[in-house]
Structures are given as C-alpha cells and as structure tokens.
Chains A and B, each alone.
Chain A
C-alpha cells in the first residue's frame, strides 16, 4: 500500500499548493485549473492508523471517515496542505471545519477553509441553480484572492478534459475487474492512491496500467464470470475483506461506492462558465445517499447497475455511524429481495482490522448461496 504521507510531502517538496477536500464530491477541475493540487481526503485509515489527536475533539460515535480526516489534518502530515475545501456533505462533516480550526489552533497552526453550501432540494421542487452558480462564483473569487491566482476558462477547459479522461480510464479499470482481469483489491488501491497525487500523475499511472492490460472491444459487455457481485457503500471494503470475497470465488462486477463509481460516473459537457459546469455536474451526479436530492433516482440506478452487470448478489458495506447510508439499506434490501437478488450487509467500524476473521464465515456463506443459485439458475435476471 502506497503511503499517502509521502505523496503529501512530495507535493510540498515540489512547491505545489495543495488543497485538501473533504469527501465526497468537490469541484476538482476548478481547483486544478487554478494551479492547485486537489487531494480528496478519502480512505485515510491505512495511512493514519490511530486517532489520538482526533479523539480529543470528536466523540467515538463519529464515523471513521471523520475521525481519520481530523487526525490527518491535525497531524504533521496535514501541515502539507495549503487550504481545505468542504461542503454540506452530512451532519458530521458540516461540523468539522470549526472543530479542525480549534485543533489546529492548539498546535499554533491555521488553514484557510473554503466552504460552500450545495443545494440539496430536488431540482424539480426548488430552483436552486442561481444559488449554486453564485456560490461557485464566490468560491472562485475567494480562491483567486487567497492564492493570488486568476481564473482562466482555457485552463479550466484543459482541466475538465484531464479529469474526463482520468474518469474514463478509471471506468476502464472497472471493466477489467468485472472481467476477472484485475482484482478489486488492486482496483481499489489504484483509485485510492490517485486521490492524493496530481491528476496528471494519476492519468499517467492509469494509462500505463491499461497499456499493460488493454481492453478489447468485447470486454465492454458483461463477461461470463460466475458468482458476480456488486458492492455498495461509502468506501470500498477494507483490503483484507476484499481478499476474503475474492478468496471465496466472488467477482466484483460493479460498484456503487461513493469514492469510486459514484464519484467517477459523470463529467459534464464543457461549457463556457464554470458555474454552469458545476450546476450540471451536481444536478446529474450519480445518485448518492449524501446528495439528498438524488434519492428518487437511487433505486433506479442500483437496479440498472445490477441488470447491466448481471450481478447475482449485492454487498452493502455499512460505514458505522453513517446514517445516510443506514436509512436506505433496509429499503434497498427489500427491493433486491423482490428482484430475487441476495444481499449481504457488513458493518465496517474504526477497529474492524481487529475483527476481520468474524466476517470470513459470513462471506463464505454468501458465496455458497450465490454458487448454489448459479447451479439452479435462480437469480437470472
């Protein structure tokens, strides 16, 4: 596993201005076009194994995403950041900026924090485009002032192209995984490593991987691999858990993971105004439990994902204390049951590494269930 702390130090050593972005879906292209290196602070657990500093500011019932994020920012590694960006992704994250400021103040540090409110009302109910446009324009002004840079539409276009290509290649890797040519473990690691390096570096890394393992045209249709599953959640399962799935003969043919497919799914067409671009980006974003206005599209998206990948089972990875996810799971489980698709729910908490063996039996049983269904053909769409 690549150490993100080294990436952060490398960015700093090269004189790059790095803006840390709270998960989930920040305006990466915008930051990039202004000469900043945006890093999305997902999945810090592997690099920040303890939460001692965070525990002085957050109760243990905050999710591990928030606790590791806070720990990272308060640690020495967080000093490599030149700013932070966040929006109202959830109740926990919206409370964090001031908590982080308190923690930084204790260590004599401070960071500029840029905040926007992302409208969460359904678009057919409330006209919020003008509001979002104004917030994006204000953000651009704030960034220009803070970093003494000037927004350029040309550079923005280049950044959009770069991220579009990067997302496209990430999707190509997903296809490799679905066809059994790449493990989901490797895929998750590659995607995760990409969050902490400049987009150009990530693009080069992706291109190299795909040169070594090129996709053929026929790979874009679902392959005939058996025991096909889709995984859903905020973060992918921990690597040792993925290993347990793959050891049990299950193939991840698709994902509804916030840090993967939900984040990578959509890049808008280029327009002449970055505010319009982000109105489109957020309006048409892949449905996510945290984007409250996408709720009505979520069931359809999951159904489509299952049908298009011919998945035979769905695994929900519950990030402990993530209410947004937990409110939806019972409903989704019921719908999937009605579709004849078996589900498995596994909860991941901050100390799950200590209890990984407990999951193995459940994963193996789930694999057997799907395997027996294959033989009987019960779960054909």
Chain B
C-alpha cells in the first residue's frame, strides 16, 4: 500500500472520535439547558474535583479552560483573544484567559458552545496555576459573583499528610459554601458513587494510553489530547467511564488488527506541555509524513496518577474527600522538577521513547519554566535526544509552523545519528 493510503487508513475517524463529538455537544447542551432551568452553576479550574458536585441534587459546572481549548481548536482563539485585548488585557496574558474573557464579555458570541452559562460561584485553585485565581477575580469583581479559592501547596516532593488534611478541610468549606449559596444539601454517598465511575474511567484511560507501548503505537498523542476533554466536562459520570472503556477497547482492537495511526512509525516521541490546540491536524499530518509519532505527553499521562508517578492511583472505596485531596495534584503544573523528571523517566522507559519535544509555552509559565533544565537532564542522564520549540497553546498568532518543524526535523536527524552510531558496522 502506498504510504499516503496507509496514512489515510490510519487517520480515519474512529468510533471513539465520533462518540466524543456527540458527548461534548451533549455536555455543553445539558449545561446550558440545566442552567436555564435553574440549576446552580459553578465555573471551575480544571483540577477542581468535580466529583464533589455530584453530591448535590442540581449543581452543574463549566470549565473555562476546557472551553478555551475547544475554541482554539475550532479556530476562534485569536478572535476571542483580540476582544479581551481590546478591553485592556495584555497579549502577554495566558491565551486561555484571553479567550475566556473575550467570550464572556461578549456574551458567548463566536463561541462553538455559545460560551458558558453565567456562574453563581467561581472556584479556582492555585496549584495548577495561580494566575487562574486572578482571572476568576475579574469575573468576581465585574459580576459580583462569589469566588472560592482552593489553596493547594505546591509539591517539591510528594504530598505530606499535613497538606492532605489542609486540602480536605477546604473541600468541607467548599461544600458548606455551596450548601449555603444553593440551598441544596450535600450527600457524600453520591460522591462515592461518582468516584467509582472516575475509577472506571481512569482505569480505561490508562489502558488506552498503554496502547502507545506497541510498535507501531496504537495511538497518537493528538488522540489523547482530544479525548481528555470529557474528563473535564463529565468527570465522575457513568457516561465517561463507558466512553473510556469503549475508547480503550477500540484502540486495543485496532492494535490487534494491525491498524495504526502512523503505520511506518520510525520515531517515537514524547510531548511536554499543553496541547497546541490550533495545530492538532496540521502537526499530526506533518509528523506522520515524517514517520514520526508523538505517542505520549506529560499533559495526558498525569491524569489519574500521583505526583512523580506514571501508574494509576485508583479510588479504594474509602473516604471520598481524602482520596480527592490525595489526587488533587494529578496534573503536571503543581509538581517540582524532581517529580516531573521521575514521571517522565518512567514514561520514556515504559514506552520506548526516542526523543522528547519540550514545547515552551508562553501562555503557561508554570508548565514551561522548568523545561530548560528538564531538557538538559533528559538528554544527559537518559541519553534521549530532545528539542525545545516555541508554542502558545491557544493563540496561533504566537506560533511559527516552519521554525517549529525545522527544529523537529533536526531532532529526528539527531535520533538517526544516534541510531547510526549505535549500529555495529
């Protein structure tokens, strides 16, 4: 089969991909509908444990970061950013924030989801990114909506018992706050049930990611980027657990049948940072044409894991607030360099990574400002060729495709040279 045909076969939209689109549409429609019917609406940062809201009869949540990523993916990122910039918000601010501010202050116009319904409560946290607290403060001040800040200590080492207790006590404060504001009673058993769904979802998420270990890999990181979305909007639901089960099943079946997204995979790469949402199609096509496959990302393998780890940390049926507090730091940004390195080393060794792309992301300093030392460490300690490229996760105006690919092609040459040096003459 000619290479082009194989690529087309590999990139055919999967059943999981089709289901994902429906699921996301349904999530946003349900959110708007329930809000219209009087549900209590909260806006949350992506790492706020959304399972808590299952404990209430009628609380729904929107995730501005997720909405901003979707907007960037659908090509309206710059349009919304410019609206925020016209209101005085600097172009140096995070592009998610600018997209969100632009969307919200223009009443949801130009948004693929008509924006988000206005909130009754804002819930931010400062472990994933503390500037998000400032971003939510803009709405807090403008709309006079209460703002609850989860204060989560940064992790230079694994979470301590003291920090865990501090976090779970804040969950109790949050529950009381929602009870007071919404007039609804909280039921912890519902959260327990939601956590069982989350456990199912994350177990299958890890199974899905594990298909990257096959050669060629059963997925591209672009699949995992887009498939993250419902974890943010449907966390703790049966529908999500079922979706990830089907996703893992389908991907494993494809591997068994010999269907691979990059059939002539020659280079197995790892991505470090948030997805470049405006480049998913272009970047995956260009990489595939080079027989290069991004098979893993720190951005996606952290889901369901503790700090510095790669494997799943499942819910054990115990106290829901204790589990949620323990897993609160699951994303990469709250981790120090040592922890990030530990997890990346596991990923590199487990998946047989040939090279690492460190995407230096102007819009996410908290993710990016360790990468120069991470790159050095990965290259020197693990002997894995690495490169740094400049991206912005949601603002295409700050991205240069050609300079990025010049660097990626150079990385592939270094990998070739390393292989040549290792091949016995």
* A128–B373 CB distance below 8 A: no
Q: CB-nearest residue of chain A relative to B337?
A: A98
- Return the contact of A99 from the options B151, B169, B177, B373 (Cβ within 8 A): B373
Complex A-B, nearest 9 residue pairs according to Cβ-Cβ distance, in ascending order: A330-B88, A327-B134, A121-B151, A98-B337, A117-B153, A91-B366, A102-B373, A323-B131, A95-B369
* A331–B142 CB distance below 8 A: yes
A115 within 8 A of B: yes
Q: Which residues from B are CB-within-8-Å of A299?
A: 141
A96 CB → nearest B CB, Å? 8
B89 within 8 A of A: yes
* B370–A97 CB distance below 8 A: no
- Return the contact of A91 from the options B129, B142, B177, B336 (Cβ within 8 A): B129
8 intermolecular pairs with C-beta atoms under 8 Å apart: A59-B368, A88-B126, A97-B156, A98-B370, A295-B137, A324-B130, A327-B131, A327-B134
B362 within 8 A of A: yes
Q: How far is the CA of A98 from the CA of B92 in the complex (A)?
A: 25
* A121–B150 CB distance below 8 A: yes
* A121–B170 CB distance below 8 A: yes
A147 within 8 A of B: no
B93 within 8 A of A: yes
- B: number of interface residues (CB 8 Å): 49
A151 within 8 A of B: no
* B126–A120 CB distance below 8 A: yes
Q: CB-nearest residue of chain A relative to B92?
A: A321
Q: CB-nearest residue of chain A relative to B124?
A: A292
Q: How far is the CA of A97 from the CA of B376 in the complex (A)?
A: 17
Q: CB-nearest residue of chain B relative to A89?
A: B130
- A: number of interface residues (CB 8 Å): 48
* A324–B134 CB distance below 8 A: yes
* B336–A292 CB distance below 8 A: no
- Return the contact of B372 from the options A56, A117, A122 (Cβ within 8 A): A56
Q: CB-nearest residue of chain B relative to A63?
A: B365
Task: Give residues 139-168 of B contacting A (CB, 8 Å).
Answer: 140-142, 148-151, 153-154, 156, 162-163, 166
A191 within 8 A of B: no
Q: Which residues from A are CB-within-8-Å of B162?
A: 131, 134
* B338–A98 CB distance below 8 A: yes
Q: How far is the CA of A59 from the CA of B388 in the complex (A)?
A: 11
Q: How far is the CA of A92 from the CA of B92 in the complex (A)?
A: 14
* B365–A61 CB distance below 8 A: yes
Q: CB-nearest residue of chain A relative to B176?
A: A125
Q: How far is the CA of A324 from the CA of B366 in the complex (A)?
A: 13
Q: How far is the CA of A290 from the CA of B313 in the complex (A)?
A: 33
- Return the contact of A57 from the options B130, B150, B373 (Cβ within 8 A): B373
Chain A interface (Cβ < 8 Å from any Cβ of B): 56-59, 61-62, 66, 88, 90-92, 94-99, 102-103, 115, 117, 119-122, 125-128, 131, 134, 289, 292-293, 295, 299, 318, 320-321, 323-324, 326-331, 333
Known: A98-B338, A326-B89, A327-B131. 4 other contacts (CB 8 A): A95-B336, A95-B337, A120-B126, A326-B93
* B369–A92 CB distance below 8 A: yes
* A289–B134 CB distance below 8 A: yes
Q: How far is the CA of A164 from the CA of B309 in the complex (A)?
A: 47
A22 CB → nearest B CB, Å? 13
B268 CB → nearest A CB, Å? 26
B298 CB → nearest A CB, Å? 15
B360 within 8 A of A: yes
B400 within 8 A of A: no
Task: Give residues 169-193 of B contacting A (CB, 8 Å).
Answer: 169-170, 173, 177
* A59–B92 CB distance below 8 A: no
Q: CB-nearest residue of chain B relative to A116?
A: B153
* A98–B336 CB distance below 8 A: yes
* B90–A326 CB distance below 8 A: yes
Q: How far is the CA of A289 from the CA of B133 in the complex (A)?
A: 11
Q: Which of A95, A289, A320 has the most CB of B within 10 A?
A: A95
Q: CB-nearest residue of chain B relative to A318?
A: B90
Q: How far is the CA of A59 from the CA of B141 in the complex (A)?
A: 32
Q: Which residues from A are CB-within-8-Å of B360?
A: 59
- Return the contact of B151 from the options A102, A126, A330 (Cβ within 8 A): A126
Per-residue CB contact flags for chain B residues 116-143 toward chain A (1 = under 8 Å, else 0) read 0000000000100111011101101110
B296 within 8 A of A: no
Q: How far is the CA of A61 from the CA of B192 in the complex (A)?
A: 43
B239 within 8 A of A: no
Q: CB-nearest residue of chain B relative to A325?
A: B134
Q: Which residues from A are CB-within-8-Å of B163?
A: 117
* B148–A125 CB distance below 8 A: yes
Q: Which residues from B are CB-within-8-Å of A115?
A: 156
Q: Which residues from A are CB-within-8-Å of B166?
A: 128, 131
Q: Which residues from B are CB-within-8-Å of A97?
A: 156, 336
B87 within 8 A of A: yes
Q: How far is the CA of A128 from the CA of B153 in the complex (A)?
A: 12
Q: Which residues from A are CB-within-8-Å of B153?
A: 88, 117
Q: CB-nearest residue of chain B relative to A103?
A: B373
* A329–B365 CB distance below 8 A: no
Q: CB-nearest residue of chain B relative to A105?
A: B373
B94 within 8 A of A: yes
- Return the contact of B131 from the options A56, A121, A324 (Cβ within 8 A): A324
Q: CB-nearest residue of chain B relative to A330?
A: B88
Q: CB-nearest residue of chain B relative to A96?
A: B369
A376 CB → nearest B CB, Å? 26
A59 CB → nearest B CB, Å? 5
- Return the contact of A292 from the options B130, B142, B170, B338 (Cβ within 8 A): B130
* A326–B92 CB distance below 8 A: yes
Q: How far is the CA of A134 from the CA of B163 in the complex (A)?
A: 11
Given A61-B365, A98-B370, A289-B134: A331 touches B141 (CB 8 Å cut-off)? yes
* B149–A292 CB distance below 8 A: yes
- Return the contact of A61 from the options B92, B131, B140, B151 (Cβ within 8 A): B92
Q: How far is the CA of A277 from the CA of B95 in the complex (A)?
A: 40
* B141–A91 CB distance below 8 A: no
